[in-house]
């Protein structure tokens, strides 16, 4: 047996070594994203569902498929070693390889987590046992598949379609059934031993796989495995192709999207429009008159915008009033593509900002129509500014309010700020971001005229072809501005001058400090004053982010509502974490939640 092991290592060891290095690089990426994905052993879970499967597939190909298709097993059969010993040795070599890979990934994940948070050995074993059991199950299947020879690809395709069909057609959550549950979220959390049913089913799969893997190359002096390793006959090719064709056709019929009516809300304040239904679900605290005024304003925005941009009819635009949300939060409900645009907002709150809601609606319409290409940084400023501009057409009071917000913004307009627009808008926050983007587009309208800017937006925010035409022939915004003879640097200067002439800063002074709490834990203390006096109504935001995360969604930060000049964030953070911190205040003059401080911090 030892000679066979050395033979396999000499022949395949270099392949395993290269894969091990590549797996290590992939694991490093997974470890860096562990905090974002959740679970102490999230990186290990990702490993066993990706690189671990590759390790088993490659081992099956090198140890079994290559041996039989190359006819080198005939040499092994001439040696004074039984076929059973040869097969068992190959099975154990492959199992040792996949076990070594997953154990190394487990050890690296444990070491990485222990740098910031102690992980008891028992908790680490809670992750190791299901990971090794899962990989052993898959290796047993890969070994059998390798022995199927010319039918192995057919086996994998049929098995994949079967599992996918169970999940989609059968409405069975495959990852929550044994033995797949061994590699589910419970592995990432690692707080208990795997359930008995998972261990039993996993052991059964291993036992059956091992038994079949021993029978095929041994029974009949190995004639079964040898015969299967030959090339397909013409009849077998036709049969296999027909089986796959019928299987794919049946699968496509069972899984195709069914036509269903678009999403619609009952008991809404409706507004019929030529571009699709629009409605507001008032909810508690919202009068019918207030809801009617809001739906009329939204309808004017949406109808004129969609018609001006020459977009197709919408499935619908709905707003659901929800008590309990912060007044500055507008959340889009995640629905299907055919269900339109549904938003949740606290319309009943006196501090609710309708301009923000209307801006988000137009923003999402363009984003969906362009398959989110409108959110690319070189044109995102135009989308933000154009949506803000459109909501205030013909409303002098609203336009003055946006100019005042821009003037109060701690973030100014410059070519560098526009080039890094996503970062600029995040530093400014929604309130100030709407203001400064409106000022820039308003200056563009003064220079070119509204009709020319609409044409510019229409050519920029088109529906992509989803092909190389988008890469080769897409009209770029800088080229379109040059075509219209716009000096972009001068335009930014004029917009910045207009912003400064509209007012000045609000006078808020915000700060934060990191407060050590022992054991490597840290809290954040915020302070806010205005003209030297403490502010009594504001909030501090904190969030732990992944190393390369660029932005923060509305729901990510943890909030601390302050009723004094300083406040301590309730969350604690560990050494090495990357923090997002911000201070926002509900300003009566601006009628919005103004972001007066924003920073990123990596804890030492």
In the 3-class helix/strand/coil scheme, how is 462-490 assigned residue by residue?
CCCCCCHHHHHHCCCHHHHHHHCCCCHHH
Look at the block and give the residue holding tokens 């605290």. 285
Listed residue (144, 593, 568, 149) closest to 352, CA to CA: 593
Position 22 scores a pLDDT of 92
Count of alpha carbons within 13 angstroms of residue 261, beta-carbon side: 3
Q: Rounded to a whole number, what is the distance in angstroms from the first to the last CA of the chain?
A: 53
Angstrom CA distances, 529 to 187, 276, 507, 590, stand at 47, 47, 8, 17
Q: CA distances (Å), 189 to each of 40, 46, 136, 376, in order?
A: 6, 12, 21, 35
Beta bridge partners of 513: 525
Question: DSSP alpha helices (H): ranges in 148-184?
Answer: 152-168
Q: What is the DSSP letter of 262?
A: P
The predicted structure's pLDDT at residue 573: 87
Is the bond preceding 179 in cis, omega lying within 30 degrees of 0? yes
Alpha-carbon distance 325 to 327, whole Å? 6
C-alpha span between 199 and 196 (Å, rounded): 5
Give CA 454 to chain center in angstroms: 32
> Distance between CA 148 and CA 274 in Å, rounded?
61
Backbone φ and ψ of 280, nearest 5° = -130, 130
Structure token digits, residue 440: 């820039």
* 590 in Cβ contact with 431 (< 8 Å): yes
Task: Compute φ and ψ for 67, nearest 5 degrees.
Answer: -65, -45
What lies within 8 Å, CB to CB, of 500 at 6+ separation is 407
Cα 316 from Cα 296, distance rounded (Å):
14
- pLDDT reported for residue 255: 61
Reported as type and span, the H/E element at residue 78 is helix 73-78
Task: Please tell me the predicted confidence (pLDDT) of residue 527.
Answer: 94
Six token digits for residue 326: 């912060």
Residue 308's H or E segment, with its range, is: helix 288-309
3-state secondary structure of 174: helix
pTM of the model: 0.63
Q: Mean pLDDT in each 10-residue stretch from start to end of the chain (604 residues)?
A: 77 89 88 60 89 91 80 62 82 93 93 79 90 94 88 83 74 81 84 88 92 82 71 79 78 60 67 87 88 93 95 91 86 78 91 93 94 90 96 93 94 94 92 96 96 95 73 80 94 95 91 87 92 89 77 79 89 85 92 92 84
Who's near 436: CB < 8 A, 6+ residues apart? 406, 409, 411, 412, 413, 424, 428, 499
Q: What is the DSSP letter of 323?
A: T
Residue 194 · residue 133 · CB < 8 Å:
yes
Specify the pLDDT at position 35: 47
Q: How many CB atoms lie within 10 A of CB 399?
A: 17
pLDDT confidence of residue 577: 82
Q: Is 523 helix (H, G, I), strand (E, B) or coil?
A: strand
Residues making up the chain, counted from first to last: 604
Q: Could you tell me the residue ranges of all domains in the chain?
A: 2-255, 262-369, 374-505, 508-602
Indicate the angle between helix axes 121-147 and 42-49, nearest 10 degrees. 0
- What CATH number matches the domain at 508-602, 1.10.10, 3.40.1000, 3.40.50, 2.60.40? 2.60.40
pLDDT (0 to 100) of residue 155 = 85
Q: Which two tokens stand for residue 55?
A: 């390790």
What is the pLDDT, as a whole number, of residue 36?
Answer: 45
Distance CA(243)–CA(554), nearest Å, equals 49
């Amino acid at each position: 047996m030892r000679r066979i092991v050395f033979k396999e290592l000499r022949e395949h060891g270099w392949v395993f070594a290269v894969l091990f290095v590549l797996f290590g690089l992939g694991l490093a990426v997974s470890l860096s994203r562990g905090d974002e994905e959740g679970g102490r052993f999230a990186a290990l879970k990702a490993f066993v569902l990706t690189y671990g499967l590759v390790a088993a597939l490659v081992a099956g190909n090198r140890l079994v498929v290559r041996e039989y298709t190359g006819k080198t097993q005939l040499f092994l059969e001439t040696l004074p070693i039984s076929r059973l010993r040869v097969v068992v040795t190959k099975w154990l070599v492959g199992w040792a390889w996949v076990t070594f890979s997953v154990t190394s990934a487990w050890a690296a994940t444990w070491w990485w987590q222990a740098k910031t948070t102690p992980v008891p050995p028992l908790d680490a074993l809670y992750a190791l046992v299901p990971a090794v059991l899962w990989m052993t199950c898959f290796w047993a299947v890969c070994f059998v598949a390798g022995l199927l020879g010319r039918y192995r690809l057919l086996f994998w395709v049929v098995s994949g379609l079967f599992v996918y069909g169970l999940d989609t057609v059968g409405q069975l959550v495959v990852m929550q059934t044994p033995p797949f549950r061994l590699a589910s979220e419970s592995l990432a959390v690692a707080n208990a031993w795997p359930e008995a049913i998972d261990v039993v089913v996993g052991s059964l799969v291993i036992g059956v796989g091992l038994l079949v893997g021993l029978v095929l190359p041994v029974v009949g002096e190995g004639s079964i495995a040898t015969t299967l390793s030959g090339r397909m006959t013409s009849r077998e090719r036709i049969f296999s192709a027909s089986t796959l064709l019928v299987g794919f056709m049946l699968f496509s019929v069972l899984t195709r999207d069914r036509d269903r009516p678009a999403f619609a809300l009952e008991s809404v304040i409706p507004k019929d429009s030529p571009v699709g239904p629009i409605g507001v679900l008032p909810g508690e605290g919202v009068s019918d008159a207030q809801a009617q005024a809001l739906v009329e304003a939204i309808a004017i925005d949406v109808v004129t915008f969609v018609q001006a941009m020459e977009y197709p009819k919408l499935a619908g635009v709905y707003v659901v009033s929800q008590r309990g949300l912060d007044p500055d939060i507008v959340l889009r409900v995640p629905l299907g593509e055919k269900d339109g645009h549904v938003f949740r907002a606290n319309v009943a709150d006196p501090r609710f900002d309708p301009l923000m809601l209307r801006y988000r609606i137009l923003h999402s319409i363009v984003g969906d129509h362009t398959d989110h290409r409108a959110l690319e940084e070189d044109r995102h400023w135009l989308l933000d500014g154009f949506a803000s501009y459109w909501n205030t057409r013909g409303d002098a009071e609203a336009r003055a309010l946006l100019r005042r917000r821009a003037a109060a913004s701690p973030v100014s307009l410059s070519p560098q700020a526009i080039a890094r627009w996503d970062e600029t808008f995040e530093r400014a926050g929604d309130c100030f971001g709407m203001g400064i983007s409106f000022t820039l587009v308003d200056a563009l309208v003064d220079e070119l005229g509204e009709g020319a800017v609409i044409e510019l937006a229409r050519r920029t925010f088109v529906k992509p072809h989803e092909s190389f035409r988008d890469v080769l022939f897409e009209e770029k915004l800088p080229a379109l501005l040059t075509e219209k003879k716009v000096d972009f640097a001068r335009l930014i200067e004029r917009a910045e001058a207009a912003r400064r002439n509209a007012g000045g800063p609000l006078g808020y002074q915000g700060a934060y400090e990191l407060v050590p709490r022992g054991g490597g834990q840290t809290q954040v203390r915020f302070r806010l004053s205005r003209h030297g006096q403490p502010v009594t109504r504001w909030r501090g935001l904190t969030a732990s982010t992944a190393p390369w995360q660029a932005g923060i969604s509305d729901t990510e930060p943890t909030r601390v509502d302050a009723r004094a000049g300083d406040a301590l964030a309730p969350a604690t953070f560990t050494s090495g974490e990357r923090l997002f911190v911000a201070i926002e205040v509900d300003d009566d003059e601006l009628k919005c939640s103004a972001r007066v401080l924003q920073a990123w911090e990596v804890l030492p």
